[in-house]
Structure 1
């Protein structure tokens, strides 16, 4: 009886899975075209799964080991089950191999079940609560059904009652794990996730790469949408990526806006995009809602606006404007989904098509167009902070080792202290440097994160044209946001430069013994990692090396390096100013206070502003450049710049 029923159940489930896969693929393909390496992506997928994805999963050893046993056991068991029970290859060797695979899967499923006994709040419940039972049923039923194949029991043992019971178990297991994989069950993430890794929109992220720059809009193509209005405006492989979500909630746990009680939950946002593509409501979502927004009140469809400014739709606009673009969600996601890309794409539509940037957003964007800086300050005052420093101008020197990109901190009295401190460091090391002065404009970071791609490209192209007039080896800046944009986002527009954050450059100067430093006389310091230096660009060590070089005790926060908590200043968040239950910088200051450090070292003007804006007693906030300048012993170093990264000067275009 089993020999008849098992092949029928297996091949019926496989046939339904293939049909479901086709329907799912056609649903993804409703999105806009995207260039992918079809065959190369599929060939690279196993390595991306076993290396890149598991590099993220392995941060949680319990889940990593569970996943290896469960997923590895299932894949092996599924292949062997089809050979043994589908095609009737009743070899004892294959039988024992299938027994081993199902036993491995069963052990993994037990750990999944244990995890679900008292699941963390970030995990989605609902259908996911039945998954351990389905995994256990699949493994147990195929294990028992394979015992006769391995010669452990007689093929006639148990009779038709056992055969019927095993058939029910097999039907349950294969329905969930084959049929449900492509028709929207909890196992959907396995099917969509594999293809998402193959045709990821940022293939550069794999094999140790890094890709964090936003993709440029083709503003010359009148047929291309300005951002994303409806689900089908996303590229098809973005839609595929949304479907890959495993609803683990690691993005939710890492999101500073969610923790602050603002109406954003990155996990639910991704699931809302899945709902929008298929059509329907969010009533069946079994995870945490957006703070302050009940589940069941939003709905959408593939060709309906995601955000309706005049009423309920799939997502409320304030959900999108709550994001600080810190990439904590992306960094934690085991499926390597790009949440920030999606949010900025939707912001672009609201800003460019609807003119609906909230609070001071429109004013800031107008300032950027009128005065080349977000604060609306008179451009002629850009160099007032350095009136007594006798800084060299690029227009006079034409060719230098280092172009010091000042940024819009030039208009902020607090940040001017950082700029002056860094100039002091550069002069102490006898660095050949100059500034653009009045020729420098805003880098465009704020405009781009607020969705105003047109203003960003206007500013970027003007800056690129200015930089093309001069020769320099390296751009150095104290602002991680300018650093990121110049390094990673100007390239698509023709601006390719070697760019360094000032902490990295100071570490190079110290390593090359171009600075003579005394010992810091203060107590302890904790270092706050800026999102746009750390998660965006992977620079964690240089700032710490600089602090170590000045002899100050560094006390790490629990949330540091790639898990650092955002200060709340990125992505235009202070401008859109969406209210929550608490302020993100207040939460970060609580992290800082736990270290009992006397000073918090920063490397970003926005981090400085946000942390110094915390009221009440707190540690002193000082930029790394200020800490280095405090211990400089001047007049000792040789008049020689650090060894350049390039062999000779070359005109940069």
Structure 2
């Protein structure tokens, strides 16, 4: 995603069709209307107002309708609106459709002509957030919490390091260390995901990795903020974090959240960050492959059959498919079970793109769709490598009253269960 230029009088995002990039405009005319984007979209599949094929079609209609006027410099009178409260007219995209997107990328992965749906949606979200202050009501609390307390729950920043107080984890402010474990908001504040952060620490220590955490100095990476269109807030957060990393001369960052991973590895390049960023799945895989991380052969492997779920931001956005599977294989001694929809065809858990912080109709939940698929595999454990997926699977399993049938574990927890000692 491109950065915005925050200058007096500037407008942000896209509200008129000619504000899109040339690639976006080309996409509108390139669509073959095959419908593969719809077939793989989690929002469309669960009855949401988003229809990726129709979104591109509306962009094309809007371009053809408004094009001649825009070329003549007429940007006010008689233009068909690009964004509306509803999408009842061809050529106008409904706001509710824009907010239904999880940014999972399935539409783009399955498009035969390489149309990029997600960037267009985020550009239009930017207009709604930054120019119109028009967004779902629950996001007002989210934006305020992140801006004032640098976490989505609005918990006091002083509590960010409490999860690690009994683990003897060094702080960057005290240790001479160039490897940072970036815990993320979920690992620091969410009760279930704190256990995953603890498992990562145990694995890193067992492998003799010298690392430290930022403790109360750590702040949200801004992933959801950017995907939701609040680019101004994201710029402030990114600049603050990059300066902090440079202050401590961080050379390598390890994180177990694919959303933090994507933001730090790709988005932060725009802000002058060029350090190595590793997801815990690839780092644990490397430690196991090289023999630095040794498992206790006398300890029992994970109970029963393990099913692996591909995270959208780990898989489609970063191509990390084999590493987490190899970690599961080394821990359990066998390949994990597979979902019907897997690898680049994986189905979203429903939490990406800021949807984690928005309400969803109980009868049409995306996570329920995925959880039912998992339950059909008769697995004992669903292995994940993302805190959002952890939450969505945990909640979905409870909604299905299946807590006694299957449990959800991060791959780091599978590893930690077989560490010596």
TM (normalized to structure 2)?
0.91
- Quote how far apart the aligned CAs of 1:359 are: 2.8
- Quote how far apart the aligned CAs of 1:373 are: 1.0
Task: Please state if 1:306 is matched with 2:92.
Answer: no
- Quote how far apart the aligned CAs of 1:236 are: 2.6
Equivalence for 1:406:
183
What secondary structure sits across from 1:399 in the alignment?
A: coil
- Picking from 250, 264, 267, the partner of 2:50 is 264
**Equivalent residues in 2 for 1:20-59, closer than 5 Å:** none
Task: Please state if 1:523 is matched with 2:301.
Answer: no
Unaligned regions of 5+ residues in structure 2, if any?
67-75
Task: Please state if 1:583 is matched with 2:365.
Answer: yes
**Closer/same/farther in 2, CA of residues 244 and 580 from structure 1, 3 Å limit:** farther
Equivalence for 1:632:
419
What secondary structure sits across from 2:216 in the alignment?
A: helix
Equivalence for 1:232:
18
Task: Please state if 1:215 is matched with 2:7.
Answer: no
Higher helix fraction (1 or 2): 1
Task: Please state if 1:612 is matched with 2:389.
Answer: no
What secondary structure sits across from 2:12 in the alignment?
A: coil
- Quote how far apart the aligned CAs of 1:493 are: 1.2
Distance (whole Å) between structure 2 residues aligned to residue 384 and residue 585 of structure 1: 30
Equivalence for 1:418:
196
Distance (whole Å) between structure 1 residues aligned to residue 114 and residue 87 of structure 2: 32
Distance (whole Å) between structure 2 residues aligned to residue 479 and residue 305 of structure 1: 38
What secondary structure sits across from 2:93 in the alignment?
A: coil
Higher relative contact order (CA 8 A, sep 6+): 2
Distance (whole Å) between structure 2 residues aligned to residue 246 and residue 421 of structure 1: 47
Task: Please state if 1:373 is matched with 2:151.
Answer: yes
**Equivalent residues in 2 for 1:109-258, closer than 5 Å:** 214-220=1-7, 222=8, 225-258=11-44
- Picking from 583, 593, 597, the partner of 2:379 is 597
* Partners of 1:225 and 1:233 within 8 A in 2: no
**Closer/same/farther in 2, CA of residues 472 and 272 from structure 1, 3 Å limit:** same
- Picking from 604, 621, 624, the partner of 2:408 is 621
Cα deviation code 1:102-149 (max 9, x no counterpart):
xxxxxxxxxxxxxxxxxxxxxxxxxxxxxxxxxxxxxxxxxxxxxxxx
- Quote how far apart the aligned CAs of 1:330 are: 0.4
Task: Please state if 1:434 is matched with 2:215.
Answer: no
Task: Please state if 1:534 is matched with 2:315.
Answer: yes
* Partners of 1:321 and 1:576 within 8 A in 2: no
* Partners of 1:504 and 1:543 within 8 A in 2: yes
- Quote how far apart the aligned CAs of 1:575 are: 2.2
Distance (whole Å) between structure 1 residues aligned to residue 111 and residue 387 of structure 2: 28
Distance (whole Å) between structure 1 residues aligned to residue 96 and residue 87 of structure 2: 13
**Closer/same/farther in 2, CA of residues 414 and 521 from structure 1, 3 Å limit:** closer
- Picking from 287, 290, 303, the partner of 1:509 is 287
Distance (whole Å) between structure 1 residues aligned to residue 77 and residue 267 of structure 2: 33
* Partners of 2:311 and 2:389 within 8 A in 1: yes
Equivalence for 1:339:
117
* Partners of 1:262 and 1:581 within 8 A in 2: no
**Closer/same/farther in 2, CA of residues 251 and 450 from structure 1, 3 Å limit:** same
Cα deviation code 1:210-255 (max 9, x no counterpart):
xxxx2222224x4653001121221233111111000001100000
TM (normalized to structure 1)?
0.59
Equivalence for 1:445:
223
Distance (whole Å) between structure 2 residues aligned to residue 232 and residue 471 of structure 1: 43
- Quote how far apart the aligned CAs of 1:304 are: 3.8
**Closer/same/farther in 2, CA of residues 463 and 521 from structure 1, 3 Å limit:** closer
Distance (whole Å) between structure 1 residues aligned to residue 273 and residue 79 of structure 2: 37
**Equivalent residues in 2 for 1:445-484, closer than 5 Å:** 445-484=223-262
- Quote how far apart the aligned CAs of 1:596 are: 1.3
* Partners of 1:230 and 1:302 within 8 A in 2: no
What secondary structure sits across from 1:373 in the alignment?
A: coil
* Partners of 1:327 and 1:340 within 8 A in 2: yes
- Quote how far apart the aligned CAs of 1:549 are: 0.5
What secondary structure sits across from 1:427 in the alignment?
A: helix
Distance (whole Å) between structure 2 residues aligned to residue 259 and residue 278 of structure 1: 29
Distance (whole Å) between structure 1 residues aligned to residue 302 and residue 129 of structure 2: 49
Task: Please state if 1:353 is matched with 2:353.
Answer: no
**Closer/same/farther in 2, CA of residues 311 and 337 from structure 1, 3 Å limit:** closer
